[in-house]
Amino acid sequence: MAFLHGERIRWLLTACVVVLAIVFVVQLRPQSKVPTDATLLVKASALPAPDVQPAAVSPTAAPEVAVDVIGAVQQPGVYYLPSKARVADVIAAAGGLAPTAARDQINLAAPIIDGTQIRVPHVGDAAEATVAAPSAEGNGLIDINTADAATLEALPGIGPATAQAIIDERTRNGSFKQIEDVQNVKGIGPSLFAQLKAHITVGQ
């Protein structure tokens, strides 16, 4: 009986050791961790921000004017410049003044008008200058009541004869009341007036 009792104790001890071993092994096994919301947020904040490039903005093309430059310049020809360009810009585009240019007869600060011809005079024929003079308004319009012949010739379609006719008309009949009155001048009809109306004004 003592022998059986001793065997039972040994089996119980063995069983306890096995159970403890199993528990120990289970505790030591690595367990997969389910990420919490907080962990996900931390990881997300650690990611580099996407490289977003600003959208390219296409610059708006500035309006241009075409001007025919002749006379005492280095390179006569037709030049295209920004609409706010001045006579000085046109002459610079044409290579500058020729040595024989009548510089004192040219208003380099005058605005230019689209579609016109600018004639830079040589010394001795300065009366032929067709560079816009100070009678042009600040907005680039030419006052047909005050402009001289050279300034009037800067207008599209206006030559020396028509420029003088405009001056004769306002001398005989007084100042023009409205720009449409310029059609009373011989040689200026509806077709030519259509070219002029965007470039002329009448002073108050």
Identify the bridge partners of residue 80 per DSSP, sorted by sequence position: 66
Per-residue pLDDT at 25: 66
Domain locations in the chain as residue ranges: 1-30, 64-201
Per-residue pLDDT at 154: 85
Q: 86 — phi, psi (to 5°)?
A: -115, 170
Per-residue pLDDT at 64: 82
Q: Among 124, 170, 174, which Cα is nearest to 148's?
A: 170
Per-residue pLDDT at 123: 83
CB atoms within 10 A of CB 7: 10
User: What is the mean pLDDT for each group of 10 consecutive residues in the chain (204 residues)?
Assistant: 63 74 67 52 53 54 78 89 88 92 81 79 63 50 87 87 91 91 92 90 78
Task: Work out the burial of residue 61: count CB atoms within 10 Å of its CB; fewer than 13 is exposed, 13-18 middle, 19 or more buried.
Answer: exposed
| Residues 6+ positions from 109 with CB-CB distance below 8 Å | 86, 87, 88
For domain 64-201, the question of CATH label 1.10.150.320 is answered with: yes
Its sign, for the CA torsion 33, 36, 39, 45, is positive
- Determine how β-strand 200-201 pairs with β-strand 64-71: unpaired
